[in-house]
Amino acid sequence: MNVLRLAFAYVKRRPLTTAFNVALLALGVATITLVLLLSRELEQRLAREATGIDLVVGAKGSPLQLVLAGIYHADVPPGNVPLAAVEELARHPLVRQVIPMALGDSYRGFRIVGTVPAFAAHYEAALAQGRAWTAPMEAILGSDVAKATGLTVGAAFAGSHGLAEGGGDHDAMPYRVVGVLAPTGRAVDRLVLTGIESVWQVHAHADPDGDRDHDAPAGRTPSPAPPSAAGTARPREVTLALVKYASPVAAASLPRAINAETVLQAASPAYESARLFTVFGVGTDVVRGFALLLIVASVFGLFVALTQALDERRYDLAIMRALGASRGRIVAVLLIESVLLAASGLLLGLVLAHGLAASIGIWLPAAAPLAQGARAWQPEEWGIVALALCAGILATLIPAWRAYRQDVAATLADG
């Protein structure tokens, strides 16, 4: 016989109440942990995606849109800018590197990025098969693209208008796959990379009289690039460019200079993703608040259950005193029972949260990459552990105090 056995015996006597309170606590813990795991993983992914990129420059418009389009490939770009403006920026002494990107087409939902070899180098994407592109209309595939489309080296495919599926195809100008990238865990896995000239070529071919619907897949205004005087040779354009500073000093002056003095708009990925997270943080705060409510409800339920149990058990507690248990022992028995319940709810909740996070891809395919967060133990989870155990103790305080104060002789006599 020991305190644990005693606690189990009492738990076994009221399985429904126990199960209910444990389940309530488990749900609260699971919700709060799941939000934590997913938002941490998202935050880390957003930060990792933007690592090394100090600025995104593109057409004037929303800086957030620029970052979403240029770094996360999650939004359409605002429009195109002249290549000359980007080339001029690259010559700026505070700029170490500029990686231009031409967006506008896609293949089965995967974006085709016309860029320079430095793009793949920046993302540390090594070739798993084949080689890099050397001529226009040669493309290399991100690992997810290769997996999803089944394309291999040597295959040909035609891009389609716009960044979503369903645009018209550039059937006359097919790309040829020359390489496949190894997985990186970053956005490049879901991209098709090609030389920037390929994109220019496709567009020159497809739109002899102007850029109709490129860059405007979601009903945006068409690219503002006017036809050149000659009518056929338009000035070369890019959609946006990733910029790395030559020195941290650049952060103070360069963005402002770009915004004020050029046709470009500069957006800082760090700043914009932080801004995005504040907006999105309101949502997680709401869920977190709801989870706290569940935990409070479970504490209250535990409290009611223990108080009720104490009424039924006051003779048991009195006879335990008569058998030699001290007041402290009685309190310990109640406390351990409650903490035991809280601990099972906690454990169940943590397992549930990590399990749900690990399998999130099954019920939320878009969030599948976040499942990686399930493997890590976040330091904040210790806070959840402490919270749940404190909840268990809190629920016992009043019943334990009453048990401590119980008049044993009177209880035995009135029984």
Partner 1 sequence: MFSLTGIAHRYGATTALRVDAWRVGTGEHWLLAGASGSGKTTLLHILAALTTPTAGTVVVGGTDLGGLSGTARDRWRGRNVGLVPQRLHLVGALDVADNLRLAQYLAGLPDNPGRVRSLLESVGVADLARRFPRELSQGQAQRVAVARAVVNRPALVLADEPTANLDDAHAAAALDLMRAQCLASGAALVVASHDARVRPLLPQAYALPPRPDPGDIRRTSA
Among 108, 131, 212, 329, binds partner 1 (CB under 8 A): 329
The SS3 call for residue 175 is strand
Min dist. Cβ of residue 15 to partner 1 (A): 12
In 3D space, the residue among 20, 61, 170, 10 whose CA is nearest the CA of residue 105 turns out to be: 170
Residue type present at position 406: Q
What does the alpha-carbon distance between residue 127 and residue 134 come to, in Å, rounded to a whole number? 14
Give per-residue burial for 146-183: e unless 16+ CB within 10 Å, then b. beebebebebebebbbbbeeebeebeebebebbbbbee
Instruction: Say how many residues make up the chain.
Output: 415
Give the x/- contact pattern for partner 1 in 261-300, rule: CB under 8 A.
Answer: ----------------------------------------
Nearer to partner 1, 9 or 19 (CB): 9
Question: Looking at 137-145, 206-214, 324-332, 341-349, which segment touches partner 1 (CB under 8 A)?
Answer: 324-332
The single residue among 297, 327, 343, 406 that binds partner 1, judged by CB under 8 A, is: 327
d(CA 387, CA 402): 24
Least distance in angstroms from the C-beta of 326 to partner 1:
4
Comparing CB distances to partner 1, the nearer of 182 and 412 is 412
316 contributes a contact to partner 1 by CB under 8 A: yes
Q: Work out whether 400 is an interface residue with partner 1 (CB under 8 A).
A: no
Whichever of 2 and 232 has its CB closer to partner 1, that residue is 2
Q: How far is the CB of 348 from partner 1 (least distance, A)?
A: 23
> In angstroms, what is the minimal distance from the CB of 315 to partner 1?
5
C-beta separation of 240 from 258 below 8 A: no
Candidate residues 15, 150, 328, 379; the one interacting with partner 1 per rule CB under 8 A: 328
CA distance 401 to 147: 63
Minimum distance from CB of 394 to partner 1 (Å)? 24
Distance CA 70, CA 390 (A): 46
- Rounded to 5 degrees, φ, ψ at 113 are -110, 115
Q: How far is the CB of 364 from partner 1 (least distance, A)?
A: 44
Q: Which is nearer to partner 1, 377 or 404 (CB)?
A: 404
- Touching partner 1, residues 148-177 (CB under 8 A): none
Residue of 269, 281, 283 whose CA lies nearest to 64: 269
| Angstrom distance (rounded) from CA 265 to CA 258 | 7
What is the closest distance, in whole angstroms, from the C-beta atom of residue 14 to partner 1 in the complex? 9
What number of chain residues touch partner 1 (CB under 8 A)? 27
Q: At 122, is the secondary structure helix, strand, or coil? A: helix
Of 153, 263, 319, 376, which one interacts with partner 1 (CB under 8 A)? 319
What does the alpha-carbon distance between residue 110 and residue 44 come to, in Å, rounded to a whole number? 23
| Rounded least distance, CB 23 to partner 1, Å | 22
Give the E-state strand segments of 36-174 in sequence order. Answer: 55-59, 81-82, 95-107, 110-115, 127-130, 138-141, 156-157, 160-161
Residue 218 vs 413, nearer CB to partner 1: 413
Q: How far is the CB of 352 from partner 1 (least distance, A)?
A: 29
Decide if residue 332 touches partner 1 (CB under 8 A). no
How does strand 95-107 pair with strand 160-161?
A: antiparallel
Tell me the two tokens of residue 221: 């205004």
By the rule CB under 8 A, 323 interacts with partner 1: yes
What mask of x and - would describe binding to partner 1 in positions 7 to 46, judged by CB under 8 A?
--xx-xx---------------------------------
Contact footprint for partner 1 (CB under 8 A): 1-2, 5-6, 9-10, 12-13, 315-316, 318-329, 408-409, 412-413, 415
